[in-house]
Chain A
């Protein structure tokens, strides 16, 4: 798990805990749990929602660690400025990742789906939060791997499709050199996340 600190934001938004799991076997049941938790009545509901209080992201649409970090930064910024477009800072991460403006589309594309065999789990909170890795491990079963693996799990064709990159001059110019093309796609995708709040 990687812990990122944001010293310039309020305490409750000053840490991002990010973990990447591969060989995930329970994505389908995790997804039903997330859906059910939304409608569960208190107090059981609150407890379940706290257990699932993360952003779950499908790594196949993520091009690099910088890509997630940029979405996390913009989500924290929106939360700190009181300008969240979605209900929580965690759903805001999914919103920031999706090129469109529709939150349910963002969740459908970038959130956990039944076929996920790898998962990115993100928690934005204070530095006081205890046992974060254990908390993540209790809801996702899989193998914890470093974030540097991001980019090796990527479905580049899907990324290019969602960001409408196939006809762009930058992509055509890089064709034939796969590493170069991935670098170019990554830079465009990261930039699109950063600019999201002024694109609407």
Chain B
């Protein structure tokens, strides 16, 4: 459909959002799939996994294909298991494009005051004039706009991760950037706030206690490094998670202690 090296046509009018964490091979966009004569089109969130030109082209294409297929299948599995994730809207494995339901909302990282992902590297932000920096603290946005407390947010996080692990899905990159708060309102029910897990690019299926414990450990590390003094908050995540997963919690908890110990030893050596 397109010539080698050029982007698929759908991306020409799409809004580039960010380079993606795996900057060398992934871009994310906000786009419209079509225009309708009768109704306003809803946007989709596009992830474009493009080929790295320096690798073997056919091998590259089949790798991209299987990653796209894997991410899409995991998302469908989560949907069927009642985990809040964005629905799938388009899968184009040949071009490396996944389209998701657009989630109107903010990442938990932003709402907890962690700043934009990768902001540490952006130096000019420190030179912004005083009056361009918002007075409102992120915590107050959480409570004024979303009307939930940080504690309630933590319990939503614990609950979603619990459901996900019950379905034997390991996220592989649990950070507060990969969670969003989303306002939902449907025709007959009252509006509510939902926590949505995103970015299943590194996810896989496993029922192993070790894999679940490591998934939690990754999130704990992310909390500690981006949100100072978040220990009491993270304790709520674990408490609610434990209630969700039920009898397996005892062994996951014990394993999480082991994983923490291994992590500390590694950092002492390194």
- A residues bordering B, Cβ < 8 Å? 2-9, 16, 65, 69-70, 73-74, 77, 80-81, 83, 146-148, 165, 168-174, 177, 179-180, 183-184, 187-188, 190-192, 194-199
Asked if B37 contacts A3 (CB within 8 A), the reply is: yes
- Best-buried of A69, A70, A170, A190 by chain B (most CB within 10 Å): A170
Q: Do A183 and B76 touch across chains, with their CB atoms under 8 A apart?
A: no
Contact among B13, B88, B187 for A195, CB-based, below 8 A: B88
- Contact across chains for B12 and A169 when beta carbons are under 8 A apart: no
Query: When the two chains form their complex, are residues A187 and B82 in contact, meaning their CB atoms are under 8 A apart?
Result: no
Pick from B82, B186, B188: contact of A173, CB under 8 Å = B82
**How many residues belonging to B are interface residues under a CB distance threshold of 8 Å?**
41
Bound together, the chains give a CA A197 to CA B76 distance in angstroms of 13
| A83, B82: Cβ atoms closer than 8 Å | no
A-B contacts, 26 of them at CB < 8 A, read A3-B36, A4-B35, A4-B37, A5-B35, A7-B35, A73-B34, A77-B90, A80-B1, A148-B39, A165-B80, A168-B82, A169-B163, A169-B166, A170-B79, A177-B189, A179-B186, A184-B82, A187-B87, A190-B87, A190-B88, A191-B79, A191-B88, A195-B91, A197-B91, A198-B65, A198-B68
Instruction: Tell me which residues across on chain A come within 8 A of B93, comparing CB atoms.
Output: 197-198
Does B73 make an interface contact (CB < 8 A)? yes
Please give the distance in Å from A17's CB to the nearest CB on chain B. Answer: 9
**Least Cβ distance of B265 to chain A in Å?**
38
User: Which one, B10, B13, B37, B90, contacts A194 given CB within 8 A?
Assistant: B90
Is there contact, CB below 8 Å, between A2 and B38?
yes
Asked whether B94 lies within 8 Å of A180 as measured between CB atoms, the reply is no
User: Does B239 touch A at the CB level, under 8 Å?
Assistant: no
C-alpha spacing A52/B88, complex, angstroms: 32
Contact A179/B188 with A188-B79, A191-B79 known, Cβ cut-off 8 Å: yes
Q: A198's closest neighbor in chain B, by CB?
A: B69
- Among A8, A65, A165, max chain B CB count under 10 A is at A8
A188 to B39, CA, bound (A): 22
